[in-house]
Amino acid sequence: MVLQSSKERPTLGGTRIKTRKRNIAEPLDPAAFADAVVQIYLDNAGDLVIFTGGRTQPGTTKPDEGERHPYSILDCEATREVILPSVIYIQKILRRRPFLIKNLENVMRKFLQSLELFEENERKKLAIFTALAFSQKLSGLPPETVLQPLLKDNLVAKGLVLSFITDFFKEYLVDNSLDDLISILRRGKVEDNLLEFFPSARRSAEGFSEHFTKEGLVALVEYNEKKIFEVKLKDMKSALTTQLTEETDISEVIETVKQRVRDAKLPDIEVVRILWDVIMDAVQWSGKNQQQNANAALRQVKTWAELLNSFCTSGKLELELIYKVQMQCYEDAKLMKLFPEIIRSLYDQDVLAEDTILHWFRRGTNPKGRQTFVKALEPFVNWLEEAEEEE
């Protein structure tokens, strides 16, 4: 690719030759046009920035066609210090010659679709250039232009794309945050399918973590694991919501939860949180009638108490359930006064143990609404303590 900053621009045209009978125009001559471009370079030494340093044909370079010029990204050292000046210079040219922006986009797309035609070191230089281009917000390189062409099956299968994207990530994160990188991936429409950069044999969450941990991109690994975890939680919540809406038999719902917990390896605390959210989301609230809302919430607790009881299997999990109730009642005005009634109902249904309730009452750590809820729960706690003394 050639980006030109000179005022003189060659044109691709024929040459008229005078004959005895008429003027005849020679066919369009690309070679003559290329020679004219090179001549401008020679006349304005240093006023051009070139990727290949020589003429190109689709997807390849032809080093045997004339002398390769020194202003070449592919012939320089594979370091940011050497490549960055070229990126900055291209940016300056594009500001003065906006008509070249589309050319840059087209050339980069072709280069990235032809990674197999470059040597490993040349691909690394292209990755560094691309990362620096995004870091410098180079005009003419929208993320989809760079990232989408990489997803060619043959390039992915050979591992070339994974190598390129790894170099790209590492270089970009030198000067930018992970959030900046995720923003690029999102705009490039690949945020949700990063595994597609991996050959099929290595396309797994474990393969992703192993590869990028080895490359020192631990933050990216943690981000991906968190995203996978959130997807699993969302899928489980969606499945449970459907079952509760359809009033599926509670034993079947319990088995569904257990199966998903095994498959997705979900933490027990997250399961308890999801169960409470799904159960309460399914309540048919009547509006402003406080008593009707209370009846609906308590009826829901009673209906699905066995489900909660199946997974609140320790004092720690029971305490987490109380915190969930506390937060929901604190954030939802119509539930504010229901906190003691819900806790009493959970106790009556053997979901919450007495010791857990007393622990929350005396040493609970979540401050949101705590003072109000402790006061509201005090009569019930007094009853528990009196019953304990009588026993």
Identify the burial level of 349 via C-beta atoms within 10 angstroms of its C-beta, where 0-12 means exposed, 13-18 middle and 19 or more buried. Answer: middle
Q: Is the dihedral of CA 8, 14, 15, 16 positive or negative?
A: negative
d(CA 376, CA 43): 87
Amino acid occupying residue 219: A
pLDDT at 4: 45
On the question of pLDDT at 105 being above 60, the answer is yes
Last residue of a domain, one of 170, 194, 218: 218
Q: What is the pLDDT of residues 278-311, one digit of tens each?
A: 999 988 776 667 788 888 888 999 999 999 999 9
Select from 143, 155, 239 the least CA-distant residue to 198. Answer: 155
pLDDT at 2: 44
Q: What is the band of 18 on the pLDDT scale with cuts at 50, 70, 90?
A: low
On the question of pLDDT at 236 being above 60, the answer is yes
Looking at the structure, tell me whether residues 61 and 176 fall in a common domain.
yes
d(CA 385, CA 377): 12
**Among 136-140, 330-334, 367-371, which stretch is predicted with the lowest mean pLDDT?**
136-140
Looking at the structure, tell me whether residues 289 and 240 fall in a common domain.
yes
pLDDT at 212: 96
Looking at the structure, tell me whether residues 237 and 133 fall in a common domain.
no
**Among 169-178, 279-288, 355-364, which stretch is predicted with the lowest mean pLDDT?**
279-288
* CA terminus-to-terminus distance, the chain: 89
pLDDT at 48: 47
User: Has this prediction a pTM greater than 0.75?
Assistant: no
Looking at the structure, tell me whether residues 12 and 122 fall in a common domain.
yes
- Mean pLDDT for the stretch of residues 144-155: 86
Select from 140, 145, 43, 36 the least CA-distant residue to 93. Answer: 140
Residues with Cβ within 8 Å of residue 199, at least 6 apart in sequence: 156, 157, 158, 159, 162
Looking at the structure, tell me whether residues 161 and 296 fall in a common domain.
no
- Mean pLDDT for the stretch of residues 40-58: 52
Identify the burial level of 48 via C-beta atoms within 10 angstroms of its C-beta, where 0-12 means exposed, 13-18 middle and 19 or more buried. Answer: buried
The structural domain count of the chain equals 2
d(CA 389, CA 276): 32
Looking at the structure, tell me whether residues 383 and 361 fall in a common domain.
yes
- Mean pLDDT for the stretch of residues 247-253: 91
CATH number at residue 259: 1.25.40.180
- Mean pLDDT for the stretch of residues 332-359: 91
More confident residue, 38 or 181: 181
Looking at the structure, tell me whether residues 191 and 240 fall in a common domain.
no
Looking at the structure, tell me whether residues 237 and 383 fall in a common domain.
yes
Looking at the structure, tell me whether residues 359 and 379 fall in a common domain.
yes
The number of beta carbons lying within 10 Å of the beta carbon of residue 11 is 6
Q: What is the band of 13 on the pLDDT scale with cuts at 50, 70, 90?
A: low
Last residue of a domain, one of 158, 193, 218: 218
On the question of pLDDT at 368 being above 50, the answer is yes
HEC letters along the chain:
CEEECCCCCCCCCCCEECCCCCCEECCCCHHHHHHHHHHHHHHCCCCEEECCCCCEECCEECCCCCCCCCCECCCCCCCHHHHHHHHHHHHHHHHHCHHHHHHHHHHHHHHHHCHHHCCHHHHHHHHHHHHHHHHCCCCCCCHHHHHHHHCCHHHHHCCHHHHHHHHHHHHHHHHCCHHHHHHHHHHCCCHHHHHHHCCHHHCCHHHHHHHHHHCCCHHHHHHHHHHHHHHHHHHHHHHHHHHHHCCCCHHHHHHHHHHHHHHHCCCHHHHHHHHHHHHHHCCCCCCCCHHHHHHHHHHHHHHCHHHHHHHCCCHHHHHHHHHHHHHHHHHCHHHHHHHHHHHHHHHHCCCCCHHHHHHHHHHCCCCCCHHHHHHHHHHHHHHHHHHHHHC
Looking at the structure, tell me whether residues 34 and 137 fall in a common domain.
yes
Q: What is the pLDDT of residues 185-226, one digit of tens each?
A: 999 898 888 999 999 999 999 999 999 999 999 999 999 999
**Among 10-14, 72-76, 103-107, 185-189, which stretch is predicted with the lowest mean pLDDT?**
10-14
Domain that holds residue 141: 2-218
On the question of pLDDT at 70 being above 80, the answer is no
pLDDT at 176: 94
Mean pLDDT computed over every residue of the chain: 83
Of the spans 287-296, 321-330, 333-342, which averages the highest pLDDT? 321-330
pLDDT at 24: 56
pLDDT at 64: 53
- Mean pLDDT for the stretch of residues 320-339: 91
Last residue of a domain, one of 218, 253, 285: 218
pLDDT at 5: 45
- Using CA atoms, how far residue 278 sits from 179, 197, 281, 292, 345, in Å, is 31, 35, 5, 20, 18
Of the spans 13-22, 136-145, 206-215, 276-285, which averages the highest pLDDT? 206-215
| Residue % of the chain over a pLDDT of 90 | 45
Looking at the structure, tell me whether residues 202 and 260 fall in a common domain.
no
More confident residue, 302 or 64: 302
- Mean pLDDT for the stretch of residues 327-336: 88
On the question of pLDDT at 42 being above 70, the answer is no
Q: What is the band of 1 on the pLDDT scale with cuts at 50, 70, 90?
A: very low
d(CA 280, CA 284): 9
On the question of pLDDT at 59 being above 50, the answer is no
Looking at the structure, tell me whether residues 195 and 257 fall in a common domain.
no
